[in-house]
Amino acid sequence: MIKATGEEVENFLNDETNELLMNLSSGVLPEYLQKDEVNLLIARYGEGWFEKLGYSEPKYKKPKV
């Protein structure tokens, strides 16, 4: 079993989150995000991630997770 340090875990989450942010900026709509993707955004931006990233309803739909 591989053990990761806190810094390594943080770097991994940031890499995953950055990739997700690139997908969103290239046109992926937030309504199509999976639960694990939403959890990455919550971990980085908090519960208000949708608004913090510039999305607003009714123009964009929140994911149903």
What is the 8-class DSSP label of residue 33?
A: -
State CA 39 to chain mean position distance.
Answer: 6
Rounded CA-CA distance 43/15 in Å is 13
The pTM for the full model equals 0.77
Task: Note the pLDDT tens digit of each residue in 3-62.
Answer: 656 666 566 557 889 999 999 999 999 999 999 999 999 999 999 999 999 999 999 999
Residue 51's pLDDT is 96
